[in-house]
Each structure stands twice: as structure tokens, then as C-alpha cells.
A and B are shown apart, each in its own frame.
Chain A
Amino acid sequence: MSERQVELEVLRYNPETDQEPRFQRYSVTCREEWVVLDALNHVKENVDPTLSYRWSCHMAVCGSCGMMIDGEPKLACKTFLRDYPGVIRVEPLAHFPIERDLVTVIDDFMAKLARVKPYLIPKEPAPADGSEYRQTPAELKKFKQFTLCINCMLCYAACPEYGLIPQFIGPAAISLAHRYNQDSRDGGRAERQEEIAATEGVWECSFTGACSEVCPEHVDPAAALQQVKIKSTVDWYKKHLMPWAKE
């Protein structure tokens, strides 16, 4: 059982006592296979119970523990101490207001998620015999990767557009809309276009690609957004050059 002394530099903020955030250093003995989350739990249990952060599953599926680790958006439960030889800087996820310590206010994200109508708007009514819609493995694969988003918001923390232009609906929300647009059972693309083809929708995206670089689930939101752009552009041309054609 191999151990290591780890130095954590954690950004603290308590609105009741602090005017602005400040760093606090913790020095803890950690097992070598631990992740940053294990180190934080160790701090909270043995050194400083006042440290607040979100976590739950410890297997990168609940999306709770997103934070900036050495300036990079990461899931604390999947960031291995062995990859960080020096002092590890831990801050709350960028581009979100800080509620307390490593806990951010995610109201904006939740509102945007709801705005894009991220639910199935069926193209046809369900089969009369009560059976399932048929969907081939190829049709499933068409949108499958966009279903994998765990809503961890690392993409929002990485996206410079979202950082500079907070009205931007953002990578995850638009990718989720695209997931439904690509689902063979869905017929709601026109309804979603109102939100995602707007100025604050996909057109705020300049294909920086940071979102896809940091996504822990390989959803590739950047790809989704470019695909939405192309479809929206084709829509626009069809509408203006071939107004007789049905959508």
C-alpha cells in the first residue's frame, strides 16, 4: 500500500464571511491510486469539515463533481493524483457563480436545458397495439453518442463563448436538442429550432472545440453544434429559395 503526501490548494468562499474567494492549502497523506475526490473527502473527514463540494457516484456517471483542477475542467472522481506531481490547484467550475467553496450556481444551465425541449416529440403516434417504435441499430447509433451527456457542465466551463457571452445556450443543451432531432422516432426539430437556431443558440458558437476536448463521456458536443449549424443553414436556404417546399 503505497502512500504519497499531496498538497491541495483549494479556492474557498463563504458568502457569509468572505468578500471574495481565497485559497487554502491542505497537506494530506493519500494512497497512490486515489483520485482528487478521495483527497477532498480525506480533507473533509479528517482536517476541515467546513469544506463544501458536490459528489455522489464516484464513477463518472452522475456529473456532480465537476471542478477546475490545475485550471482544467475535470471530474474530481476521475482525476488521478498520480498524474499531478506538484501542488494541485482546485477551484469551482469556471463560468458559473460560486455559491460556496467548490459549489457553483447552476440555475442558468438548468434553465437552458429545459428551454431546448429535450424530450421526445413523436413524429408518429405510438403503435396502436401497444408495442415499441421500431428503431434499427443503425438508427440508434445515429444519435447514441449524444445521449451520453451526464450534465457535468465541464463543456460550459471550457467554452470561451459561454464565458464571454453568458446568454449563449451552450454545448450540452444544444447537443441534447440535436440528440432528439437525430432520433428516428422524433418529429420535433422545427419546434426546437426556435431556441437553438437563434442568435444565442448555435450561432454564438465559433467551433473552438474546447467542449469536446474536455467532455469526459466523449459526447463530442462540438460535432453536434456544427451539424446543427449545417442543418439550420440548409433550412434557411430552403425556406427562402424554395418556399413551396414543405419543411
Chain B
Amino acid sequence: MPYVRTIPRVRWFFRHPRYVRYMTREVTCLFIGAYTLLMVWGLRELSQGPDAWRAFLECLASPASIVFHVLALMFALYHSVTWFNLTPKALPVQRGEDFIPDGVISGAHYAVWALLSLAILVLAGAF
């Protein structure tokens, strides 16, 4: 009888560094989801008046919140970088005989990202 090797259903991704990287990428969604909830909570506090809003801002300044924000930013960056690098695979563009190099397509994404980030920072009064 042929022998079937079993795969550990939960810990399979420890078997190889590339699987760890993959799970990290997938786990970023938890942080992004959490941050979205945070923003919804913030909007709610804003709608409750200046005292509620001030309390919310104080929470945001707490050490735990800072740690969370740093982690969330790191994961969001990882999410975006992996996404931009993989996009050319899903959307190849052929001009004439050759395909536009992957770097150009990801590069365009990074460029747009940088511009949008700059625009938002300006609107938020950072400059």
C-alpha cells in the first residue's frame, strides 16, 4: 500500500520560511481590521461631543496604543509592499511583443501611493 504522509493541520506553516512569510502576510489583515474598528470607534466618540473626543485622543496617546499603532503600521506596510510586488503577476501588460517589466507596474503603484500619502498629510495639516 502506498504510504500517505500527513501534514500538521495547524503548524504546517512552520515547515519552511516561505510559509512563515506567507502567514505573516495573511495575518496583516487582522491588524488592518483592528485599525478599522479603532477608526469607527473614534468617529463614534467624535459624534458624542468634545469631552468624549478628548478622552479618545488621550487613549490614543497611551503607551499600549502607541505600540499597537507601530505594529499596525509595520504590518500595513508589509501588506502593501507584498501586494504591490505581486500585482504585475495578476495584471500583465503586453506592449507589442514584450511585456512591461514587473518593476514598472509595481513602481507605478508605489508612486501613486506616495502621492496619495502626501496629499492626505497636506490635508491633515502636517505641513
Closest chain A residue to B102, Cβ basis: A223
Query: Could you write out 16 A-B pairs with CB less than 8 Å apart?
Result: A20-B3, A98-B5, A138-B94, A141-B94, A163-B7, A163-B12, A208-B18, A209-B18, A210-B18, A210-B22, A223-B92, A226-B90, A227-B90, A227-B91, A227-B92, A230-B90
* A99 interfacial contact with B, CB 8 Å: yes
Interface size, chain B (Cβ < 8 Å): 25
Contact flags A69-84 to B (C-beta < 8 A → 1, else 0)? 0011000000000000
Contacts of B22 in A (CB 8 A): 160, 208-210
Given contacts A138-B94, A209-B22, contact A97 B89 (CB under 8 A): no
Interface size, chain A (Cβ < 8 Å): 33
Given contacts A97-B3, A227-B92, contact A164 B12 (CB under 8 A): yes
Extra contacts, 19 of them, besides A13-B3, A223-B89, A230-B91 (Cβ < 8 A), are A95-B7, A97-B4, A98-B5, A138-B94, A141-B94, A141-B98, A141-B99, A142-B94, A160-B12, A163-B12, A206-B26, A207-B86, A209-B18, A209-B86, A210-B22, A226-B89, A226-B90, A227-B91, A227-B92
B16 touches A71 (CB 8 A): yes
Interface centre among B2, B12, B26 (most CB of A within 10 A): B2
Using a CB–CB distance below 8 Å, which chain B residues touch chain A?
A: 1-5, 7, 9, 12-13, 15-16, 18-19, 22, 26, 86, 89-92, 94, 96-99
B112 to chain A, nearest CB (A): 19
Count, A-B residue pairs, CB within 8 A? 68
B97 touches A138 (CB 8 A): yes
Interface centre among B86, B89, B94 (most CB of A within 10 A): B89
Contacts of A187 in B (CB 8 A): none
Closest chain A residue to B85, Cβ basis: A209
Given contacts A71-B16, A210-B19, contact A15 B92 (CB under 8 A): no
Contacts of A160 in B (CB 8 A): 12-13, 19, 22
* A137 interfacial contact with B, CB 8 Å: yes
* A213 interfacial contact with B, CB 8 Å: yes
Q: In chain A, residues 197-247, which have Cβ atoms closer than 8 Å to a Cβ of chain B?
A: 206-210, 212-213, 220, 222-223, 226-227, 229-230
A164 touches B92 (CB 8 A): no
> Complex: how many Å from CA A20 to CA B5?
10
